[in-house]
Structures are given as C-alpha cells and as structure tokens.
Structure 1
C-alpha cells in the first residue's frame, strides 16, 4: 500500500500560495513544536477547546502515520501555528466484492483570519493531485460542512441513519440468540473493538480500516474523551465461544425522571445473531427510556426487531464522501449484480476522470475502455459517478434531480447493476 508520507507537497498549490506570501509544507512530526502547532491549529479550526497537554501528546503519536500539511505565513519559525491544516493517508476502502486503496483526507481547516483567499482550494486540489500522482484511484473524507466539497468533485456516497428509540413504545419482539453477552473492561474493550471492526469492515461496502487512536479515544483509555468515565462495553460471544459483536456506549441522566438515555458510540457486529443480541441488550436495559445510535446502515433491521416500529425514529443523512480519480481502476475493482453495456461521458473540471468510457459488465465484473462515441448513453459529472459508485445512491433519483443525463431505462439498468446487496455504511468519522 502506498505510504502517503512519501508523496511530496503539490508544486502547483505551493506556487499558488507562495504568491500570497504563504508557505505550504509538510509538518515535521518528529519536531514536538511543529506537531503541537499543527494539532492546536486543527483544534481551533474545528472550534474545539484548547487541548490539554496529554491529549496533544497522544495525538502527536497518532499523526505520525499521516501526511500532515500546514500553510504558514512566509518565513514563520518552526512552532508557529499554521493558518490552515490538512492531513491524509492511504487506507483500504471496502467496495462490493473487493477492497481498493483510498486517499483519506482529514483535518481540513482554514483560520478565520485567512478566509476567502483560495487556501482551501489549494489544500483540496493539492491532495487530489498528490493522490493521482501516487496512483491512488479514489479519495474520501467525512465532512463537517456539506457545501464545501462538491466543487472538488466529491459527493456523498455513503448515507447513514441516526436511530432514536423510545424503548417503552418500541418494546422488543425478537428471539434471544444462543450466545451470551459479557461486560468488557476498558482495556479489553479497545482490543475487542479493533478486532471485531476489522472483520466487520470487510463485510459491507463503504467501510475503512480503523486505527489505534480511534479505538483508544472511543473506549476512554486514551486522552481526549470527555465522557471517558462513563464509557461501558458489552460483547456478544456465540455458542462456539467466538466474539462476534461489541457495543460501546454511555448512559446520560434524563433530568427529573430518574431514567437514562443510552448513547451508542459504536455497535459492531459480524453476524445477525450478534446484531440482534446487542440491540436487545440496549433496548431492554433497565431504567433506559431512550437509545440513540448514529452512523448506522440505512437498512439496519432494528425497526423489524421491535414490537412497534413507530418507536424507532430513523433520520438519514450524508456521511462518507468519495471522489473518483481513475474511472477504469475503480469501476473494474468492484463486482456488480446485473449485466450492463453502455457509454458514459464523465465531466471533470479538474481533469482526473474526464472522458467517455465504454462500461461492459458481464458475470459480475466490469471492463472499462475509452470510447470515441459522440452519443453516449449517459452523461454525468465525476461527483455524480462518485455518488453512484458503491451502490448506495439511486441513479433514478439522481436522474430526477438533473444530475444524470440518461433515459429512465438506462438509469434503471445502472441501478440494477450497481446496487449493493447491503446498503453501504461508514461507522466512524475520520
């Protein structure tokens, strides 16, 4: 797998920013001063409080595996806070039937003192050029603001659901699986969560690999979780003694009623029995009136596990954003559910994916070749193709929105071929 840290900064972005007396450079994570300045600027950019020293020290170790870039005032000494930040790494992305390398982008911030100067454009376009130069065929991110990234060819490709359950109304209406539930202490919870997620992420498109700092903070054994003292964990062990699922949660008081809300940080399960057992634990927990869980797949079976599905509120929202860089590589990497033969014209203002392509799918596999046809069957921009890629967004819906120029029949054929067996999901932020 490509090591993003070995890819130099993009010269076009460096030149563009130099014209504003700004320096665009890699952050030296071996320098405590340089790394600390990057992390504190990142926290400021996301409107977080000033991080404590132990949090900075832990995060400093965490970013050593990433390609960290800061934008600085020209000739600023090492240890000066950057006016903008971004980092990236290459991670496996699960797609239907396979995994592909993805250029993951995070920590995108621009100081409030340096807005409207094209810095975000330089950062994002610089990452895309770096990824393409390294031969990574797709980029991805999770977005705190949904209006920024479409201009760079990204699109929400992995919708997820936030579930809010009124446990007294919903009730429970499912059999108890044969395995058992066990509480897990925090140190074991971190390793259990990492192990279960690493299996689960290969089972459904949209997931990426986790990392140690993610699990450590989530489970409260590393600095940075303000609710660390409240974190609890339960695992499901099947009848053969194998751990098949894990639930990380906190309990919060509901004022004046002596009842609680369970907030699920992550539910990771690799079998239907594990998923049922963990949901059953949550919804039947004593003194819990409300259960909330975000970043769940939109086809989560929970409404079918309860007595009254009206007790389960489902709010679907965007989460995983993708941006295709190499059309042939990504389309040929995944599997498909139906045959297809059509010409696609892809528009891409940055040029990476632009062109007309003949897409031929047979026996679940695709062959993609350049085409010189003047009459393609479908015309779309790279963001729309990126939205369609994992099978979690409907071509017919995009056609109705004017994002896909094709007949209704062609849109239906695309849906038949691209639709995943299970809805894609991304269970973490990055």
Structure 2
C-alpha cells in the first residue's frame, strides 16, 4: 500500500476532522467546539495521510512555549489530533506520520514535543515519557472542612460573566505561567478554550459560571465552574464541577475554594485536574473524604537533546555524562556532558566515560522534574554506570514545583 503524506489544505479540513470524529467514537463534536479547533489549527503543521482519494491518517501540532524548571519558556510542539482509520491499522501509517512530524519539529528548532495521550501505550515507542500528572478529587463538602490561612477574608468575591471577565482572567493566568513547569504561554485565541461550554455536553449542569477574588479592585484570583442540581428523599445533594481555578496568593486561593465548598444545595465538589502539589490538599480536614486520585496527563519528547537540557536549570550543581539511546531520533544518541546549576546549564557531546545510561523516553519523563531518576532506576530503566552518580543527578533534575498541564490540546 502506498500512503501519501501531505500538509493539510483548508479545503480538506472537514474530511480530515471527520476521520478524527470516527476514530474517537464516531460522535460528532458540537458545532462550537469544532469551530474553535478549526480556528486554532495550524494548517502548515498538520498532516493528512492519503490512500488514493481517502484521508486515512491525521496528525497536527500547535506552536507553544512551555515553562521548564527555572522559568524559561521553551518552544514546544503540542502534538494533537492524531488518528489512523481502523481500516488502515498495522500498516505503518502512524509511524510514518510520527517520523515526518518529529523531523519537521527538529527543523523548526523546537527542542520539545508534548502531547496528552488518549492511549498512553501508543507513544512510548516514539520516545514520549510520562512527564506530568494531575490531581482529581470528588470532595464530600458536607463533611470536609477547610483550614483557612491568615487573610482569607480580605479578598472581595463577586460573580462575573465568563465572557466579559475573560481578558482579566487571562492576564492573571499569564502572570502565573513562568512559575510552574508544564504551563503553556497561550497565544491569542487559546483563551476561548476556557469558555467552551456546549449545552449538549453539560449533562444536566448549569451554564459555565465565574467568580472573581479581588483586592482593592485588582484581580487576585478566579474560578470557573458549573453546578448540577440533584435531589433525593433527604434533600439537595448538588454537584459543583470545577473547570479552573487560579490565584496569585494563598489567601485568594483559599477564599475561592471556600466559596466552592459553601455553595447552597450542593454536597460534592468534583475536581478534574489540579497540580499534584495543590495547596488544597493541606487545607482539607479529611483527605480520605476527598476521593483524591492521580492520572497521567502530560507526555514529553526530547527532540533536540542539548538544547532541551541547556534550556532548564537544576536544583543543585551537577557535572555528569549521560549515555543516551534514541532509536527514533538518532541524532540524540550518544554521550552528552551536562553541566548546570540554578543559574543555567551547558550540554555538549563528549567522549568521556558515561556515568548514567538511559533512553530518550526516560529523559523526557524526568525533564520537568516530576519523575525522579532514582525511581526510574529502581524500575531498571536508568542504569548507574559509576557508583554514587545517580542520587545527585536525580536531585538536580527535580523541581520544587510539580509540573502541570491545566488543559488539553
């Protein structure tokens, strides 16, 4: 079979997107959601795999800048909309698209590629490592109390229309981007993702609502949420569904959570995605009644190894040699001397003897600071070639702030 890979033309978008709809269950997306993605898509970075006159594969990428440890915002390809027609599985279509895409990403000078995997098993063979998890919760707000920090009564809370408050909320988010690995600098248009609220997908919940926390007229935080009313013989037991919550300081952060806990006629707060180190876990009186759980979200691929390792900082000084294997992007294979500290880093090829050996997949998993190299070594995926080398390098790769990707793409 001859598969022809071509850059997507706007005229072929509907056929290309119909393939995605079918691959993800066959239920068409709401018109407003489809229109949003059509406006955000970068056609020059989107691929269509053709079998004669039929599109049988899709893959795209968005141009992002992702925060890495140390605060730098590194050019990152946001891999998206990947699918292969069920009629064309096991014929090399996905591999050919991944090959073309990573070559293109390298040519564009982007050191990193990131994705949110619908099926994690797919992407490991292309060098993507699990680099960031998210915290979810189902909190029994009728029985869980909050321990409030000093100043939590100071912010003034008020309802706001999600649309008219969008610019202020997006400005606040942009102030936070440099402080957490994994956050994305959002280009114009991406703020609309936070307002996407098709009625057909509410599942009986209210339209999207927004509350602001202000201090002397300045925005200190916001929360977007919806409420699903529910009743039984004992009375109301509604569910608050949190969409997003951002705050500049502990007082505003706690005040917004208290607001969500105290909403009338509700007894459950459903939280879909928060950072693993969210302060909420230290404010609740009973973590066991919060239904806390984690899930893998962010997968990262090192595309340009020396550029990627030099772009971030390191918790403690290190000077080490890594032996890296990268079967899918062979330009990363070899020995690399990495020297760095909290002020910066340099990574260069070397002939010196290696101290650690690992693959690009494990390097991607550890890059943002969540997956310690020591844990990967305990799983047999990182090898310590020189005794005593592992622990200090693992510490250096860590991050005081957990990586987090707050939304998909």
TM-score normalized by structure 1? 0.87
Contact 1:174–1:306 (8 Å) recurs in 2: no
Separation in 2 of the partners of 1:52 and 1:390? 34
Q: Counterpart of 1:403?
A: 381
Matches within 5 A, 1:171-190: 171-175=145-149, 176-190=152-166
Separation in 2 of the partners of 1:343 and 1:303? 38
Contact 2:9–2:43 (8 Å) recurs in 1: no
Deviation per CA, 1:179-207, whole angstroms, max 9, x where unpaired?
11111113124334432222222210111
3-state SS in 2 of match to 1:198: helix
Separation in 1 of the partners of 2:44 and 2:189? 13
Separation in 1 of the partners of 2:221 and 2:400? 21
Q: Counterpart of 2:4?
A: 23
Matches within 5 A, 1:130-209: 130-175=104-149, 176-209=152-185
Q: CA deviation at 1:255?
A: 5.1
Q: Counterpart of 2:208?
A: 231
Q: Counterpart of 2:287?
A: 309
- What is the alpha-carbon root mean square deviation over aligned residues? 2.2
Q: CA deviation at 1:25?
A: 0.9
Of 201-210 and 52-61, deviating more is 52-61
Cα 1:326–1:51 shift into 2, 3 Å: closer
Q: Counterpart of 1:372?
A: 351
Separation in 2 of the partners of 1:192 and 1:217? 15
Cα 1:253–1:360 shift into 2, 3 Å: same
Contact 2:160–2:211 (8 Å) recurs in 1: yes
Separation in 2 of the partners of 1:261 and 1:408? 53
Separation in 2 of the partners of 1:408 and 1:269? 44
Cα 1:243–1:42 shift into 2, 3 Å: same
Cα 1:303–1:340 shift into 2, 3 Å: same
Deviation per CA, 1:383-423, whole angstroms, max 9, x where unpaired?
10111111111111111111110167422212321211211
Contact 1:391–1:418 (8 Å) recurs in 2: yes
Contact 1:83–1:110 (8 Å) recurs in 2: yes
3-state SS in 2 of match to 1:422: coil
Separation in 1 of the partners of 2:155 and 2:243? 23
Contact 1:158–1:425 (8 Å) recurs in 2: yes
Deviation per CA, 1:358-391, whole angstroms, max 9, x where unpaired?
1122453222121113x41100000101111111
Q: CA deviation at 1:101?
A: 0.4
Of 310-319 and 337-346, deviating more is 310-319
User: Which residue of 67, 75, 81 corresponds with 1:94?
Assistant: 67
3-state SS in 1 of match to 2:157: strand
* Alignment partner of 1:37 is 2:15: yes
Contact 2:137–2:271 (8 Å) recurs in 1: yes
Contact 2:59–2:80 (8 Å) recurs in 1: yes
Contact 2:206–2:228 (8 Å) recurs in 1: no
Structure 2 regions of 5+ residues with no counterpart? none
Contact 1:39–1:60 (8 Å) recurs in 2: no
3-state SS in 2 of match to 1:61: helix
Contact 1:186–1:220 (8 Å) recurs in 2: no
TM-score normalized by structure 2? 0.91
Matches within 5 A, 1:272-283: 272-283=250-261
Q: Counterpart of 1:420?
A: 399
Separation in 2 of the partners of 1:312 and 1:56? 34
